[in-house]
């Protein structure tokens, strides 16, 4: 038997506009949920970022959430934990990382109810770093998914390794990057993929394979790919089960895999993402689409982000009356979505380039700084403290000007 674990990642940024969200729901989310309904043997792991859960509710697309709850109740869908606003967790301070994880759980539990019982964790963009295991072990997640390029040992297909932290051990699952990309880049159809898995099972005995990708791949990024790959794969699995084939493929959740295979040795995955290549690792660039050393816009963006976080921390610490506390609380709330990953991804030029998506993120951070600075000015702090806040705010304006200047260049 070969266990095929498929993780589908649902995410749209907090800056996404309604027409696009509605289009994605129509082209992808609803068709994929319909395919799962029609194939009751299908079991998938779903990561849905809390910001998207909230957006679907607020934009009147609640049937998508209803469908996910229904499939979870049927045992076909299991959910994961993640970061609410899809921040790149290894690149933000520990306190912000923990806050994003907590907000994601609270938001999804609110909108998905009892159906939301995550056992595993999906780091946004599969960005893993050594500081990630401890906060995940504390709320007692059972496993974390990382990219295959992160694997530091012989490729595991029959054991599940673990990562160790001061808070305990956490099972670590590795995404098969080659097979996942073959699906995402339309190199194999559903039947061909299942046949490929069967061939692997013939030579290796019981084993598992994990593929993971954006759910928007199916029908939104790739037209009709929900039918050509996903429906075709599940139809092929059902036909094989009906024939009781000796070398079967079983659709499984990632928790099924963790429960079905023995534990391997403790390992320490390489810091990386699902967009990191071997060459990136060799160059010590683990997160190339979000923090590339030679990308000047990335450097400026992260300097600006650091000022946002500093000013919010100072505003919260200095707030002393109703007015300063109100502005500090608003700055704190605004900072959460202002850490979303898309603004950096669209500045990468390697995967994407969209000056408006970069600028929207910049505008979100500008609002953070405005309210944090206002809070400090109203706090009754010493002149030297308020002057330092003014210097930070001035530095942020300089950085924004530098970023905009680079966005306008040919």
Q: Are residues 233 and 380 in the same domain?
A: no
Q: Which one of 254, 282, 310 terminates a domain?
A: 282
Q: Are residues 276 and 304 in the same domain?
A: no
- Give the whole-angstrom CA distance, residue 199 versus residue 181: 19
pLDDT digits (tens, 9 = 90+) for 51-79: 999 999 999 999 999 999 999 999 999 99
Q: Are residues 168 and 51 in the same domain?
A: yes
- The average pLDDT across 205-218 equals 95
- The average pLDDT across 230-236 equals 96
- Give the whole-angstrom CA distance, residue 220 versus residue 94: 34
- Give the whole-angstrom CA distance, residue 149 versus residue 277: 7
User: 3-class DSSP state for residue 204?
Assistant: helix
By percentage, how much of the chain surpasses pLDDT 70? 98
Neighbours of 207 (CB within 10 A): 18
Pairing of strands 160-165, 168-175: antiparallel
Question: In the prediction, which pLDDT does 352 show?
Answer: 82
Under the banding of pLDDT at 50, 70 and 90, the label for residue 202 is confident
Q: Are residues 190 and 313 in the same domain?
A: no
> Which of 161-170, 171-180, 229-238 has the weakest average pLDDT?
161-170
Q: Are residues 126 and 258 in the same domain?
A: yes
DSSP string covering 247-268, please?
Answer: S-EEEE-HHHHHHHS-EEEE--
Question: In the prediction, which pLDDT does 335 show?
Answer: 98
Residue 51, in any domain of the structure: yes
Structural domain harbouring 362: 296-408
Q: Are residues 88 and 195 in the same domain?
A: yes
Residue 197, in any domain of the structure: yes
Q: Are residues 266 and 325 in the same domain?
A: no
pLDDT at 246 over 90: no
Q: Which one of 255, 282, 309 terminates a domain?
A: 282
pLDDT at 204 over 70: no
Report the largest interatomic distance among the alpha carbons of the chain, rounded to a whole angstrom. 80
Under the banding of pLDDT at 50, 70 and 90, the label for residue 135 is confident
Residue 288, in any domain of the structure: no
pLDDT digits (tens, 9 = 90+) for 317-376: 999 999 999 999 999 999 999 999 999 999 999 988 999 999 999 999 999 999 999 999
Q: Are residues 201 and 342 in the same domain?
A: no
Q: Are residues 264 and 141 in the same domain?
A: yes
DSSP string covering 301-369, please?
Answer: HHHHHHHHHHHHHHHHHH--SHHHHHHHHHHHHHHTGGG-THHHHTT-SSS---HHHHHHHHHHHHHHH
pLDDT at 242 over 80: no
> Which of 145-159, 163-177, 200-214, 261-275 has the weakest average pLDDT?
200-214
pLDDT digits (tens, 9 = 90+) for 5-46: 999 999 999 989 999 999 999 999 999 999 999 999 999 999
Residue 301, in any domain of the structure: yes
Residue 287, in any domain of the structure: no
Q: Are residues 334 and 239 in the same domain?
A: no
Residue 28, in any domain of the structure: yes
Domain count, the chain: 2
- What are the residues whose beta carbons fall under 8 Å from the beta carbon of 252, sequence distance 6 or more? 3, 4, 5, 43, 208, 260
pLDDT at 244 over 60: no
Q: Are residues 326 and 200 in the same domain?
A: no
pTM reported for the whole predicted model: 0.95
Q: Are residues 317 and 276 in the same domain?
A: no
Q: Which one of 238, 260, 282 terminates a domain?
A: 282
- Give the whole-angstrom CA distance, residue 404 versus residue 296: 12
Residue 218, in any domain of the structure: yes
- The average pLDDT across 84-100 equals 97
Question: In the prediction, which pLDDT does 125 show?
Answer: 98
| Mean confidence (pLDDT) of the chain | 95
Ramachandran category for residue 373: left, alpha or beta (phi over 0 → left; psi -120 to 50 → alpha)? alpha
pLDDT at 114 over 70: yes
Which whole-number Å values give the CA distances from 201 to 235, 241, 251, in the listed order? Answer: 19, 15, 14
pLDDT at 310 over 60: yes
Question: In the prediction, which pLDDT does 245 show?
Answer: 58
CATH of the domain at 7: 3.20.110.20
Under the banding of pLDDT at 50, 70 and 90, the label for residue 48 is very high
- The average pLDDT across 174-181 equals 98
310: exposed, middle or buried (Cβ count in 10 Å: 0-12, 13-18, 19+): middle
Residue 82, in any domain of the structure: yes
């Amino acid at each position: 038997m070969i266990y095929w674990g498929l993780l589908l990642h649902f995410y749209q940024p907090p800056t996404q506009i309604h027409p696009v969200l509605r289009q994605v729901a129509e082209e992808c989310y609803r068709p994929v949920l319909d395919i799962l309904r029609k194939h009751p043997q299908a079991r998938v792991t779903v990561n849905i970022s809390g910001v998207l859960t909230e957006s679907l509710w607020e934009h009147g697309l609640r049937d998508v959430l209803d469908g996910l709850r229904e499939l979870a109740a049927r045992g076909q869908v299991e959910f994961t934990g993640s970061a609410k606003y899809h921040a790149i967790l290894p690149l933000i301070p520990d306190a912000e990382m923990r806050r994003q994880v907590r907000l994601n759980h609270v938001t999804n539990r609110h909108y998905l109810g009892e159906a939301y019982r995550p056992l595993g964790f999906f780091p946004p963009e599969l960005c893993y770093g050594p500081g990630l295991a401890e906060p995940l072990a504390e709320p007692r997640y059972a496993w974390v998914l990382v990219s295959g390029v992160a694997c530091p040992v012989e490729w595991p297909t029959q054991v599940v390794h673990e990562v160790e932290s001061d808070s305990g051990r956490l099972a670590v699952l590795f995404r098969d990057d080659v097979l996942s990309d073959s699906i995402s880049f339309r190199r194999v159809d559903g039947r061909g993929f299942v046949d490929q898995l069967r061939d692997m099972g013939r030579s290796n005995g019981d084993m598992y394979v994990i593929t993971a990708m954006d759910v928007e791949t199916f029908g939104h990024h790739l037209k009709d790919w929900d039918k050509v790959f996903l429906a075709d794969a599940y139809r092929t699995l059902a036909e094989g089960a009906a024939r009781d084939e000796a070398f079967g493929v079983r659709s499984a959740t990632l928790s099924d895999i963790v429960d079905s295979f023995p534990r391997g040795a403790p390992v320490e995955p390489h810091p990386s993402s699902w967009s990191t290549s071997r060459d990136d690792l060799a160059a010590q660039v683990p997160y190339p689409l979000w923090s590339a050393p030679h990308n000047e816009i990335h450097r400026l963006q992260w300097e600006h982000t650091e000022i946002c976080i500093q000013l919010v921390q100072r505003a919260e610490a200095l707030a002393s009356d109703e007015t300063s506390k109100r502005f500090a609380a608003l700055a704190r709330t605004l900072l959460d979505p202002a850490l979303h990953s898309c603004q950096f991804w669209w500045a990468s030029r390697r995967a994407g380039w969209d000056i408006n998506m970069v600028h929207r993120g910049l505008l979100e951070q500008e609002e953070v700084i405005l309210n944090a600075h206002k809070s400090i000015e109203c706090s009754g702090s010493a002149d030297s403290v308020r002057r330092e806040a003014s210097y930070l705010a001035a530095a942020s304006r300089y950085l924004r000007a530098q970023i905009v200047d680079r966005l306008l260049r040919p």
